[in-house]
Chains A and B, each alone.
Chain A
Amino acid sequence: MNVQHVKAKIFARESSRIDLGEAIPVFHQWIQKNSGEELLIDVADYRHVPGGPGVMLIGHDAHWSLDSARNRLGLVYNRRTAMEGSTGEKLRQAVGAALEACRRLEQEPPFRGKLVFDGGECEIAINDRLLAPNTEETYRALKSDFEWLFDALWGPGAYTMEHAGEARELFQVVGKARTPVAAAELALAP
């Protein structure tokens, strides 16, 4: 199975209290300070959409967003362009990039002390219905890749994982660590 376009969401702790509007200047600064590894294009403001993507950083290879889908705030990394490598590596790249963005956001002045990401839960989707329809069959085919990822993230046996979402939705898997951990403490190189 050629898995591409991995989307990863790391949730913010419920105690996080932020003004989403503060993400607009923060993302603009990321564009200004961009070292050139990623092509960052613009910032899109969807704060007006209930349960929507909030504020997005639009890139060529990926979009990032401080999103509130299903009314849960979190950081989403959404890979747009295809990548080389094994399925496990692509999952790892997306989650690594999401965690990196979480760490960076937590350190941004408007969010410091107010926004904390939970490293104990991770929602991963494959944003391509043809490559990965949301079926049990896909889950069976990819289960070991997800286990490889979650082993690296939390340690073997230190988590639960489940196949989520209805048939029309993107294929998605939710992993949960058995013990609480902050996103900042997780080490998973992108």
Chain B
Amino acid sequence: MKASNSQWKDRLVGRMPPQLEAEVDVFEHEVALKKQGKIDDRVFGETRLRRGAYGQRYDNGQRHDGVATRKLQYPSGAATKGAHTLWDAPGMQRIKIPFGGLNAAQLEVMAELAEEYSDGIAHVTTRQDFQLHFIHIEDTPTVMRRFAAVGITTREACGNSVRNVTACPIAGVCRDEVFDVTPYAKATAYFLLGHPDCQQFGRKFKTAFSGCRDQACALVRMHDLGAVAATRQENGRTRRGFELYVGGGLGTVPYQSKMMYEFLPEAELLPVAQAIARVFARLGEKKNRNTARIKFLVNKLGIDEFRRLVEEERAILPQDPRWTDYLKEIPHADEQPLKPASLLRINGLQPVGFDDWSKTNVYRQRQAGYAVVTVALPLGDVTAGQLRTLADLARKYVKDTIRTTVEQNIVLRWVSEADLPELYKELKQAGLATPGAGTIVDITACPGTDTCKLGISSSRGLAGELRTRLAERSLEMDEAVRGLRIKVSGCFNSCGQHHVADLGFYGVSRNKGGYAVPHFQVVLGGQWTENGGAYGLAIGAVPSRRVPEAVDRITSRYLAERQTGESFQAFIKRIGKAECRKMVDDLGNVPSHSEDATLYRDWADAREFTTGDMGVGECAGEIVSPTDFQLAACEREAFEAQLQLEAGETMKAARVAYESMQHAAEALLKLRLNYAPDSPDGVAAMFREHFHDTQVFFDPFAGGKFAQYYFQAHERNGQARSSESVHRLIEEAQLFIEAAHSCYGRLAGQPYLAAAI
């Protein structure tokens, strides 16, 4: 904890917006009360989250160090800052950056705080936020004050609230946009921030704005609320409005949003958002977190009924001047350049590396003579020194502002083109001129096992490895491969947005002879364009260490067999998922631990992979248990279901997907009880009794969610389903089987079962 904390409060009095100042004071009191044990863990946990102060890996005070699970003996002992979260354990502070917009002074404060309270690194997230890691809870009020003094709030950066409102980073300068969505995104962000109608959500609520339908910049289709700029001609006048989408989301099972309005006039944007918030707060699930996102509500009610309820709510909303006040400012809201437009001298001698960099990192603006420069941040990380350089460059070249992107980069807009070589040189000097923005080397990754409590495999470790390997050959790569997107999540929760990547990966674990092996599920065929217009499906799990080999095989095959002009998605669709699986199938054969232990370690981590609580018998490494075989067969069935779905056999696909779950449940019953009933009803009932009600099957964080997938599938077995619903069922089957693998791993750690295995 910083020695200067108490002095910052006095130093910054009157230098913060009064509302923010008061909020931070309240939070500081809550921290003090919690320290004295006067606030309940659960309540403080949610309060802290709503201020963006999140937990971090090992904050329960336990860590497997590669030899054994050890207790981390913090000075304040067992004192907590939330359920199972120790007071002294380092935490993460998320900082909301509406539409990714920051000015130079804010960048400088970000640099100071990264240096003084964190580990010297600020991290750009896939939602245009920043995150600082390894922060002590008692430092957070000071961190918040220092941000507040430059107009930044961390309020509602986490928790069951309206999260950061994202928008295209090139809004206002884009060649394809209908109009600049920035002022609308900003107005929505501040209108919903702390709004009383947004305080009773059962889960988080994510909003995005896009200036057009076809590009991917804002990924509107995967949001709880998404708005795409649209115009209409009325009485000879162009009216602005939005195509409004609701109920999208990634998470464990991705949902495509539903179009709620083809054209919502701009004046209706905020009241309708408010009405949606009210309906969500009133009717959204509250008890079961796993079905509490708005996507489940929209799906349950159907979009027409949902719209009707929203309109009913809209009709009774008390008038609020903020709904339209901001619209008057929009004609004057355009960002202005610092320098006059100019052209890049193409015959001039350019700095070494400039040409390659400018091919991928420079975008010509709609406004002639200006360009957007993308500063590609490896894995979204930037040092304090680099942030200061960016602040200097923002002042020198572009009138003070930058924006973060959902691809974890930073853009400088309104660069006068003749300045590009000089700017490149200065970026290069600061280690910020990495080429390849928006290409296969510009990999997006969530924090994964580095800092996230839910991480299964090392997403950043894998992304770093892929980046290094691909960067070595990127300049020689065929354009078709170079343009692909890779996204990595450390677990099924999809923070790395793997569903909308050409090649997506999410972390899972497998057991081999009583040892855990880090794996990634390979997800192919997701669509980045059209605002994340289609989601991919998993084709099989590959050991983490073999993912680079999988990437090579898949991209080489695409290169060798693609038809003229054929996109990666079209190629994957044409060859079919069975063929895709064949490409990686053999990579799943893991040698026993005694033969070669390489695959039992994750990337950038020297420890044996999560063997923490597992008791490993002398010769367990040589034996493949019947459960291993049964669960592998279930995976094949789930895959089979995908193929049936692709072939248009919807009902068959649903049946096979359901059976894959039933068979996984049987495998666990046999493992634990040496018996499984013959009938589907019997299996479901017995599984409920022995695995669900006892919580043996519960995921440490997702609880009984995956078991519920099975029970719901059992209830609906044989009923008619749409192909979208079957698509989801297959996803759920895969997750249920993953959970069965994890449960098996946990059970294998119990000595009496380890012997049986």
Question: What is the CB-to-nearest-CB distance from B10 to chain A, in angstroms, rounded to a whole number?
Answer: 10
Output the nearest chain B residue to A129 by Cβ-Cβ distance: B112
A48 in contact with B430 (CB, 8 Å): no
Given contacts A47-B464, A48-B378, A49-B378, contact A170 B115 (CB under 8 A): yes
Q: Hey, what's the 0/1 contact readout for B118-150 against A, CB within 8 Å counting as 1?
A: 011100000000000110100000000000000
B121 in contact with A49 (CB, 8 Å): yes
Q: A42 in the interface, Cβ–Cβ < 8 Å?
A: yes
Q: Hey, what's the 0/1 contact readout for A14-39 against B, CB within 8 Å counting as 1?
A: 00000001001100110110001001
Q: A179 in the interface, Cβ–Cβ < 8 Å?
A: no
A53 in contact with B464 (CB, 8 Å): no
Q: Which residue, B8, B11, B381, has most C-beta atoms of chain A within 10 A?
A: B381
Q: Which residue, B63, B383, B464, has most C-beta atoms of chain A within 10 A?
A: B383
Q: B73 in the interface, Cβ–Cβ < 8 Å?
A: yes
Given contacts A28-B65, A56-B119, contact A39 B467 (CB under 8 A): no
Residues of A close to B121: CB separation below 8 A: 46, 49, 52-53
Output the nearest chain A residue to B382 by Cβ-Cβ distance: A49
Bound together, the chains give a CA A29 to CA B134 distance in angstroms of 21
A25 in contact with B11 (CB, 8 Å): no
Bound together, the chains give a CA A21 to CA B65 distance in angstroms of 18
Partner of B115, one of A28, A82, A127: A127
Residues of A close to B382: CB separation below 8 A: 49
Q: A168 in the interface, Cβ–Cβ < 8 Å?
A: yes
Q: Is the interface of A mostly helix, strand, loop or mixed?
A: loop
A60 in contact with B75 (CB, 8 Å): yes
Partner of A41, one of B72, B378, B388, B464: B72
Question: What is the CB-to-nearest-CB distance from A160 to chain B, in angstroms, rounded to a whole number?
Answer: 24
Bound together, the chains give a CA A29 to CA B467 distance in angstroms of 27
Q: A63 in the interface, Cβ–Cβ < 8 Å?
A: yes
A48 in contact with B63 (CB, 8 Å): no
| The 6 A-B residue pairs with the shortest CB-CB distance in the complex, in nearest-first order | A50-B431, A25-B606, A4-B3, A130-B4, A48-B378, A82-B3
Bound together, the chains give a CA A170 to CA B115 distance in angstroms of 9
Q: B582 in the interface, Cβ–Cβ < 8 Å?
A: no
A69 in contact with B385 (CB, 8 Å): yes
Q: A5 in the interface, Cβ–Cβ < 8 Å?
A: yes
Q: B157 in the interface, Cβ–Cβ < 8 Å?
A: no
B119 in contact with A45 (CB, 8 Å): no
A41 in contact with B383 (CB, 8 Å): no
Q: B536 in the interface, Cβ–Cβ < 8 Å?
A: no
Residues of B close to A128: CB separation below 8 A: 2-4, 116
A2 in contact with B90 (CB, 8 Å): no
B464 in contact with A129 (CB, 8 Å): no
Bound together, the chains give a CA A28 to CA B65 distance in angstroms of 7
A130 in contact with B11 (CB, 8 Å): yes
A41 in contact with B3 (CB, 8 Å): no
Q: A58 in the interface, Cβ–Cβ < 8 Å?
A: yes
B73-93 at interface with A (beta carbon < 8 Å): 73-75, 88, 90
Which range contains the number of A residues in contact with the other chain?
35 or more
Bound together, the chains give a CA A85 to CA B731 distance in angstroms of 59
Output the nearest chain B residue to A2 by Cβ-Cβ distance: B3
Residues of A close to B432: CB separation below 8 A: 50
Residues of B close to A50: CB separation below 8 A: 378, 431-432, 434
B74 in contact with A130 (CB, 8 Å): no
A32 in contact with B119 (CB, 8 Å): no
Bound together, the chains give a CA A71 to CA B431 distance in angstroms of 9
B4 in contact with A131 (CB, 8 Å): yes
Residues of B close to A45: CB separation below 8 A: 450, 460-461, 464, 604
Residues of A close to B606: CB separation below 8 A: 24-25, 28-29, 43
Bound together, the chains give a CA A42 to CA B134 distance in angstroms of 10
Q: A51 in the interface, Cβ–Cβ < 8 Å?
A: yes
Q: Hey, what's the 0/1 contact readout for A111-142 against B, CB within 8 Å counting as 1?
A: 00000000000000001111100000000000
B467 in contact with A168 (CB, 8 Å): no
Bound together, the chains give a CA A97 to CA B97 distance in angstroms of 38
Question: What is the CB-to-nearest-CB distance from B635 to chain A, in angstroms, rounded to a whole number?
Answer: 31
Bound together, the chains give a CA A7 to CA B276 distance in angstroms of 50
A127 in contact with B604 (CB, 8 Å): no
Q: Hey, what's the 0/1 contact readout for B355-397 against A, CB within 8 Å counting as 1?
A: 0000000000000000000000011011101101000000000
Partner of B73, one of A36, A42, A131: A36
- Can you list 18 A-B contacts (CB < 8 A)? A2-B3, A5-B3, A24-B605, A28-B606, A45-B464, A45-B604, A48-B464, A52-B431, A58-B134, A60-B75, A60-B88, A60-B90, A69-B385, A80-B136, A81-B1, A82-B2, A128-B116, A170-B115
Residues of B close to A36: CB separation below 8 A: 73
Which range contains the number of B residues in contact with the other chain?
35 or more
Q: Hey, what's the 0/1 contact readout for B417-447 against A, CB within 8 Å counting as 1?
A: 0000000000000111010000000000000
A141-164 at interface with B (beta carbon < 8 Å): none
Residues of A close to B468: CB separation below 8 A: 48
Bound together, the chains give a CA A127 to CA B606 distance in angstroms of 30
A51 in contact with B4 (CB, 8 Å): no
Q: B67 in the interface, Cβ–Cβ < 8 Å?
A: yes
Q: A44 in the interface, Cβ–Cβ < 8 Å?
A: yes
Q: Hey, what's the 0/1 contact readout for B619-663 against A, CB within 8 Å counting as 1?
A: 000000000000000000000000000000000000000000000
Output the nearest chain B residue to A50 by Cβ-Cβ distance: B431
Question: What is the CB-to-nearest-CB distance from B730 to chain A, in angstroms, rounded to a whole number?
Answer: 35
A66-112 at interface with B (beta carbon < 8 Å): 69-71, 78, 80-82
Q: B607 in the interface, Cβ–Cβ < 8 Å?
A: yes
Bound together, the chains give a CA A128 to CA B74 distance in angstroms of 23
B2 in contact with A5 (CB, 8 Å): yes
Residues of A close to B386: CB separation below 8 A: 51
B431 in contact with A51 (CB, 8 Å): yes
Known: A50-B378, A128-B4. 14 other contacts (CB 8 A): A4-B3, A36-B73, A39-B72, A39-B73, A41-B63, A43-B605, A44-B133, A44-B450, A49-B378, A51-B383, A52-B383, A69-B385, A131-B3, A168-B388
Question: What is the CB-to-nearest-CB distance from A71 to chain B, in angstroms, rounded to a whole number?
Answer: 8
B381 in contact with A127 (CB, 8 Å): no
Q: Which residue, B57, B65, B133, has most C-beta atoms of chain A within 10 A?
A: B65
Given contacts A41-B58, A48-B381, A63-B119, contact A24 B604 (CB under 8 A): yes
Question: What is the CB-to-nearest-CB distance from A73 to chain B, in angstroms, rounded to a whole number?
Answer: 14
Q: Which residue, B58, B90, B120, B378, has most C-beta atoms of chain A within 10 A?
A: B120
Q: B66 in the interface, Cβ–Cβ < 8 Å?
A: yes
B383 in contact with A53 (CB, 8 Å): yes
Residues of B close to A130: CB separation below 8 A: 4, 7-8, 11
Question: What is the CB-to-nearest-CB distance from A150 to chain B, in angstroms, rounded to a whole number?
Answer: 24
Bound together, the chains give a CA A60 to CA B1 distance in angstroms of 10
A28 in contact with B66 (CB, 8 Å): yes
Partner of B116, one of A28, A51, A127, A168: A127
Question: What is the CB-to-nearest-CB distance from A82 to chain B, in angstroms, rounded to a whole number?
Answer: 4
Residues of A close to B450: CB separation below 8 A: 44-45
Bound together, the chains give a CA A78 to CA B90 distance in angstroms of 15
A49 in contact with B90 (CB, 8 Å): no
Residues of B close to A78: CB separation below 8 A: 120
Q: Hey, what's the 0/1 contact readout for B727-757 against A, CB within 8 Å counting as 1?
A: 0000000000000000000000000000000
Bound together, the chains give a CA A40 to CA B115 distance in angstroms of 20
Bound together, the chains give a CA A28 to CA B385 distance in angstroms of 27
Given contacts A39-B74, A51-B430, contact A44 B3 (CB under 8 A): no
Question: What is the CB-to-nearest-CB distance from A137 to chain B, in angstroms, rounded to a whole number?
Answer: 17
Bound together, the chains give a CA A42 to CA B606 distance in angstroms of 11
Output the nearest chain B residue to A76 by Cβ-Cβ distance: B120
Bound together, the chains give a CA A159 to CA B498 distance in angstroms of 55
Residues of B close to A127: CB separation below 8 A: 115-116
Bound together, the chains give a CA A91 to CA B4 distance in angstroms of 18
Q: B108 in the interface, Cβ–Cβ < 8 Å?
A: yes
Partner of B120, one of A43, A53, A60, A70: A53
